[in-house]
Structure 1
Amino acid sequence: MATRQAPFNPVPAMRTYPPAEHPVVVIGPVQYLAQYPVELDVNSDFKVSDINGTLIFQVKSKLLSPHDRRFLKDAAGNTLVNLRQKIRTMHGRWEAFRGKSKEKNDLLFTAKKSKLFQFKTELDVFLGNNKGEVPDFKVKGGYSKSSCSILLGDSNTMLAQVHGRHALAIMPNVDYAFIVALLVVILDKINADDDGNGAINGFIIGFVLSS
């Protein structure tokens, strides 16, 4: 049984980025905000480490269920977020809930493709209390198919960048647990496009929880 402990704070990134004007908090009000830029590496087992190799997060999967589910866990194994893909939706909607909950009042965010047909990965991300049509965050694909930027709403305010599926560059004062949770959805979309049939490739599929 996992024991709760203080999160491992990643060391500062070597690069510098301008800080967000206001803190961006989705999952953790304090523990997942850094006053400095953060760079994270994602290996083939979907273990997320800082630039010193210290484990920060890990993602597990449960595929033998009505919904494909992902579990974002901290280094101690505590579940922070569970994400599930809603089946039979035209835009491939994902929902993220706090901890292991499935209750609507624990909905953290939803993400879906911005357009039904698109050549680059583009997602609209809505916070759980957003019932409107204007997204709180946008994911926009870059020149490379496996690279993209995470922006604040419809603005050009950069929150994070994904480089080649295996690296994250996150701006100061941005909830990096949220960015990693969103990365789960981003990689699913990239992998689905690569496979051509909506299947999730071996980058994620290797983790099946028995419970």
Structure 2
Amino acid sequence: MSFSVPMPSAGPSAAPLSTAITVVSSQFLASYPVNLYISEKLVTIKEGAFTVTDVDGKDMFTVEGSFFSLHDTRRLLDSSGTPILTFRQKITTVHRRWQVYRGDSSNSKDLLFSAKKSGLVQFKTELDVFLATNTKEDHHDFKVKGSFREKSCTIYSKDNTILGQMHKDCGVKNSILGKDVFAVTVYPQVDFAFIVAVVVVLHEINQDRKGED
């Protein structure tokens, strides 16, 4: 499967990492900052439906889910409709844990990572992300910090390197693309499908919390 990487766009200046961050696939790496817009659809029969576009309005991904499921389930599709990732919420946990699998699978062998709130009570948004290989989870592999209410969050690696940032888009795209639009800047040599997946989980966890930060 081939994938067209977005062309360079305006964004923060950052040198490529010495070691690329690849969680989903190396095809989602770029040597420059990648800016994406994530938009929740205005009218949909499916829960958790989003579109992800580049700065030129080109469709990059679609996130979809369904009311007709025993578990909260989402899928990240590429522009051709091929499943890239499957998201499932563990309904028995108190930390709003989501697990993310490769493709259209929910088999444990295809688990890529999981994410959960860092604590039960939070005054600021904080999310811990664990790779599937980190079975003990005695330390996080990635961390999200900021304010989801203000759509201002930063994704860090475990050594505190910034990998991506999300911020509210206040332009005309809000009225054109959907009811809730925010921009995500992914830093060079960082898997932008992974960053999109983390932001989707972050959104779902905060929706479960009814807008509380």
Which band: TM-score by shorter chain?
A: 0.7 to 0.9
Please point out which of 120, 126, 130 is paired with 2:130. Answer: 126
Aligned to 2:118: 114
Separation in structure 2 between the aligned mates of residue 167 and residue 54 of structure 1, nearest angstrom: 14
Whether 1:17 and 2:14 are equivalent positions in the alignment is yes
Identify the residue that residue 148 of structure 1 maps to in structure 2. 153
> TM-score scaled by structure 2?
0.84
Could you tell me which residue of structure 2 aligns to residue 190 of structure 1?
Answer: 206
Partner of 2:107: 103
When normalised by structure 1's length, the TM-score is 0.85
Partner Cα distance (1:89, 1:194) in 2: 17
What runs of 5+ residues in structure 2 fail to find an aligned partner?
A: 42-49, 169-180
Give the structure 2 partner of residue 172 of structure 1. 188
Query: Which consecutive aligned stretches of 4+ in structure 1 deviate over 4 angstroms post-superposition?
Result: none
Where do residues 57-68 of structure 1 align in structure 2 (5 Å cutoff)? 57-68=61-72
- Structure 1: 5+ residue stretches without partners: 197-211
Worse-matched range after superposition: 63-72 or 11-20: 11-20
Superposition deviation, residue 192 in structure 1 = 2.9
In 2, distance between residues paired with 1:144 and 1:23?
30
RMSD across aligned positions (CA):
1.6
Offset at residue 142 of structure 1 (A): 4.2
SS in 1 for 2:28: coil
Partner of 2:84: 80
1-side partners of 2:198 and 2:123: how far apart? Answer: 20
Rounded to whole Å, the distance in 1 between the matches of 2:28 and 2:151 is: 25
Q: Give the Cα–Cα distance (whole angstroms) in 2 for the partners of residues 193 and 120 of structure 1.
A: 13
Please report how far the alpha carbon of residue 21 of structure 1 lies from its aligned counterpart in structure 2 after TM superposition. Answer: 2.7
1:19, distance to aligned residue in structure 2 (A) = 2.3
Name the CA distance, whole Å, in 2 between partners of 1:8 and 1:59: 18
| Aligned position for 1:209 | none
